[in-house]
Structure 1
Amino acid sequence: MKRLAYVDNLRVALTVLVVLHHVAVTYGNIPVWYYVETAQDPSGLALDVLVMFDQAFFMGFFFLLSGFFTPGSYDRKGGRPFLRDRLVRLGIPLLVFLLLLRPLVTFGIYREMDLPYWQFYLASWDPGPMWFVEVLLVFVAVYALVRRYGRTPRPVPQGAPGLAAIAGYTLALAAATFLWRLVVPTGLYVPVLGLPTPSHLPQYVSMFVLGVLAFRHGWFDALSRRAGRLGFAAAAACSLVLLPVRFATQGMPSELAAATWEAVFAVGITIGLLVTFRERFNRQGPRGRFLSDQAYTVYFIHPVVLVGLSYAFSGLHAAAIVKFAVVAVLALPLCWGLAYLVRSLPGAKRVL
């Protein structure tokens, strides 16, 4: 499979968004990170809004891209080599984070605890942002089983899904998300497994499956420019209409509005970004290739960089949005620089 520059560039953009997302969590009002300074001024609300919009789509987008690259990898390698390669590229970074990097980013939390470190080490067992890799391992294992015991894929017609199909999927996703959250409510956290957003699993599963289908049917290349414009328009319109309902109501109406908004926004923004990057950002020079080569490693190591910078600027008295900007501007080049050094270690590129 030839390298798609626009997909590589999308992965870079989404990885940047992950880093910014966690900086926003650090200085906003959503205390779900290794180091937090809860906002003491209204600018923290802007960071919360960024987190809310990110969460609605960006991890689903990652699963979509992961699903897109899965069939080709299986086709080239075959079943056992494919699984072995996934265990190396996903399993080793997951274990390294759990065993080695996690103590670095949780040490500040431990200093506030009154218990032996070994107890804290076990009690704080959590993959952090690597939950994505953990879930992806399950997805690719299931895919390999389906390929092993299912029918051999045959050539399929190429062409993008129509408006009716996209709308049908979006409505089905909204309904599935709403019903799923009757059992797995928003905010539920799964200890040890470390799933921070299990309420979004319908999106994650379906986006991975859509990525697989997109590869087989050539959907990414076949999406029209009009589809991209309609995607952005739908994302904007649903935000204007459904978010006020989401926050002005309670109970079932609020949950239904939230599930519907997330589905429409996620599908719309994903299609819009796919088309935009394909049409406008479908080239890579040396700098672009460098950024894309390090993107996975940045995802892997960025918590260490962010926590270190946050402690370094803990004495800075400034508005939340200012501290966000300072740390973000420094974190991005540091993350890519450290990722390059990590990938320069012997054998690292085999894994990362």
Structure 2
Amino acid sequence: MHDSPERLHALDAVRAFALLLGIVLHATMSFMPGLIAVGWPIADRSQSEFLQGTFFFIHVFRMTMFFVIAGFFAHLLFHRRGASGFIRDRLRRVGIPLVVGWLILAPMIIATLIWAAWGSPPPAPPPGFEKPALPFPLMHLWFLYVLALLYVVVLVIRQLIVKLPNADAIRARADASMGWLVRSPVAAMVLAIPVATALHFYQPWMVHGGIPTPDMSLIPNSPAFIAFATAFCFGWLLHRQTTLLSSMQRGWVAYLATAIVLTSVALFMVSDLPSGFFAKLEGLPRLAYAVIYGIASWCWTFAIIGAAMRYLSRERPVVRYLADSSYWLYLLHLPLVFALQQLVSEWPLHWSVKYPLIVSVTTALLLLSYRAFVRSTYIGEVLNGRRYPKGLEKGLERPSTVVAAPATSHSHDPQKTLASLKAVKKRYGSTLALDGLDLNVGKGELVAVLGPNGAGKSTAIGLMLGLQRPDQGAVSLFDESPESLAARRRVGVMMQEVALAPELRVRELIDLTASYYAAPMTAEAAMEMTHTKELALRPYGKLSGGQKRQVQFAMAICGRPQLLFLDEPTVGLDIRAREMMWSTIRELVRGGCSIVLTTHYLEEAESLADRVIVVAKGRVIASGSVDEMRALVSRRRVSCTTSTPIAEIERWPDVDSVSSTGGRVLISTARAEDVVRRLLAADATLSDLEVQRAGLSEAFTELTQEAA
């Protein structure tokens, strides 16, 4: 998955398009002469063959397209949250709307239809009609019920495959077959085989209705379930290789032309049948119609997805707002549409006036209700996964046009600030975590943020990442709010505490992370850069602690971030792995990436940092280069080879610490001259005497002790 967040915007727009088309579709029903002839209760005095054809065209592809996108996002969600998180999310965002929506909307819809049919005899059932098993009026919410069934089926199948000894080979063959299929010119024909077969052998099939809507039973009819299951599984597998979307993007014009031609042919085949909407075909014409219908459905799907990839890849505030609202609009539209249809049915106006009036009034009223009662409330959180504070459209301030890729050559400009905290204060209850903190990160520099536990380092990083908000002061990320989507896309993060789905393989995790960025590396490039290629097919949960940190590093850099946050990146690594990570970090800085490093390994900061910031008690107590930090303190390092016991040296005045390594004694002191005199007096055989200025470790110790 080497896709970008912009491409996800495109697919989210397609999902919204499918839902909003439902309003357009259902608003045609009272104007359709064929539907009125079979007893539909809401009959407008102005009938339209054009709107009947519009209904036919939309019905060919709308739900196939929707279930492809549903499968795509289901796979994304599953691999982001794991099985348990996926189930909880789907129960909340699909289960609750299905149950609560039906309890509220079904009585409204039934009441509207009774109003429309009052005084008229009930319509006769179509010839050969058989009452379905487990009848239940799902209404237009049937798509949520079918989605829930598909979630169960796919999770069960996946679990069975995972337990097979050749599971990796099965997945590899599935991916290879998927790649061949999408790139092949016969993709639509192959994908049409299941639905065409199901339609051909479905005896109650009324051909004018295409795929029968499974809205009247808890057991979906076979053509609908097969068609939508095929689409859902296709979307699920597509998310495993989102680079395949480019094939649809390249071929969208050809797919669109083919879809229009085939749909026109299908409409022509059924338009003059004597039984109208109850008409059936038999023999070869029935099979031909089923095949044409199935191919047209997939050509429309590929064409619309490809066009969206081509023209809706960038985030657009209006499109995103409509995408957010589309779920609400579709859930509530049907009783309103039916009521408006019945209200205007006897008005002496042409359908070309009444139809757009119904669509526009319905859409306007539902958008107003979304704004007033949904977007900033718990309902919006259930439907969209989040609620927007009133007056603040997070991440929608402007379209994101910046491509998050570092410069190809080193560009060091500390005067250009990428992230900053200005006079920031942050409290947790009575604890003051940050006390007027000022901190900035310049372009192309590696800033090491050091401090004792509880100094406020994690809080400061959380503010710059938009994970928290300050009580006072200002936070900026690329001159925007850190909550801006455009700013966040330019950032990579490797936190110390990370919970990732243990069953996912390393390549899948890197692919998933890369899918959120505008110009990511390939998974192979990220693994090559971080020396994790040999881990590509291993489940994350089976890795050692050090290997997990290496994988997390690959995930942090795969999006080519301009600003990278590394929180204790080398914890758990052996010496060789640590040195390789240091080398990669230096390479990133040379490439123009700015890095914020928090670490307890002071030699790490000393080796890598252009600038060191020492934080204590929520304030910056020192800032400068490593050499400038050393110059701030009076300590010196004295090293020598001596027979004087370490325990004796420790008791000398002015000795801060003593250690031994490689046969040499290392002493830290603020009065080096006095310590050297005592060493020489105590051991006449002393040799290899060296006196050096303090390292970063001593400077850090002295600075934080003074702050305490």
TM-score with structure 2 length normalisation? 0.44
Q: 1:300 maps to which residue?
A: 331
Unaligned runs of 5+ in 1: 115-122
| Distance in 1 of aligned mates of 2:369 and 2:308 | 27
Q: Is 1:343 the equivalent of 2:367?
A: no
Say if 1:247 and 1:145 are closer, same or farther in 2 by CA, change over 3 A.
Answer: same
Given the alignment, which residue of 5, 9, 17 partners 1:13? Answer: 17
Q: 1:73 maps to which residue?
A: 77
| Distance in 2 of aligned mates of 1:72 and 1:23 | 33
Q: 2:152 maps to which residue?
A: 141
Deviation string 1:102-154 (CA, Å, 9 cap, x unpaired) is 1122213345389xxxxxxxx99522111001000000111121223322676
Deviation string 1:262-283 (CA, Å, 9 cap, x unpaired) is 1121111111111111111222
**Conserved 8 A contact 1:10-1:277:** yes
Deviation string 1:196-232 (CA, Å, 9 cap, x unpaired) is 9764333211111111111112255321554212211
Q: 1:236 maps to which residue?
A: 260
Query: In the TM superposition, what are the counterparts of 1:109-120 in structure 2 within 5 Å?
Result: 109-111=113-115, 112=118
Q: Is 1:37 the equivalent of 2:39?
A: no
Deviation string 1:66-89 (CA, Å, 9 cap, x unpaired) is 001111211122212211211111
| Distance in 2 of aligned mates of 1:342 and 1:18 | 22
Which amino acid in the other structure matches residue 99 of structure 1?
A: L
Q: 2:97 maps to which residue?
A: 93
**Conserved 8 A contact 2:94-2:148:** yes
* 1:163 CA drift (Å): 2.5
Note the aligned Cα RMSD (angstroms). 3.4
Higher strand proportion: 2
* 1:288 CA drift (Å): 1.9
Q: 1:269 maps to which residue?
A: 300
**Conserved 8 A contact 1:24-1:324:** yes
Identity of aligned residues (%): 21
Structure of greater relative contact order (alpha carbons < 8 Å, 6+ residues apart): 1
Q: 2:184 maps to which residue?
A: 163
Q: Which moved more, 1:50-59 or 1:178-187?
A: 178-187
Given the alignment, which residue of 327, 349, 352 partners 1:318? Answer: 349
Deviation string 1:14-39 (CA, Å, 9 cap, x unpaired) is 2221100000013223259xx85324
Q: Is 1:130 the equivalent of 2:154?
A: no
**Conserved 8 A contact 1:128-1:194:** no
* 1:94 CA drift (Å): 0.9
* 1:238 CA drift (Å): 2.1
Q: Is 1:328 the equivalent of 2:359?
A: yes
* 1:168 CA drift (Å): 4.5
Unaligned runs of 5+ in 2: 121-133, 274-280, 384-708
Say if 1:198 and 1:166 are closer, same or farther in 2 by CA, change over 3 A.
Answer: same
Q: 1:51 maps to which residue?
A: 55
* 1:335 CA drift (Å): 2.3
Q: Is 1:207 the equivalent of 2:231?
A: yes
Q: 2:621 maps to which residue?
A: none
| Distance in 2 of aligned mates of 1:15 and 1:205 | 18
Secondary structure of 1:95's aligned partner: helix
Question: Which structure would you say has the larger Rg?
Answer: 2
TM-score with structure 1 length normalisation? 0.84
Q: Which moved more, 1:242-251 or 1:141-150?
A: 242-251
* 1:171 CA drift (Å): 5.0
**Conserved 8 A contact 1:232-1:272:** yes
Aligned length: 343
Secondary structure of 1:150's aligned partner: helix
Higher helix proportion: 1
Q: Is 1:181 the equivalent of 2:202?
A: yes
Given the alignment, which residue of 8, 23, 26 partners 2:27? Answer: 23
| Distance in 1 of aligned mates of 2:377 and 2:227 | 37
* 1:194 CA drift (Å): 6.8
Which amino acid in the other structure matches residue 247 of structure 2?
A: L
* 1:303 CA drift (Å): 1.4
Say if 1:309 and 1:198 are closer, same or farther in 2 by CA, change over 3 A.
Answer: farther
Say if 1:288 and 1:194 are closer, same or farther in 2 by CA, change over 3 A.
Answer: same
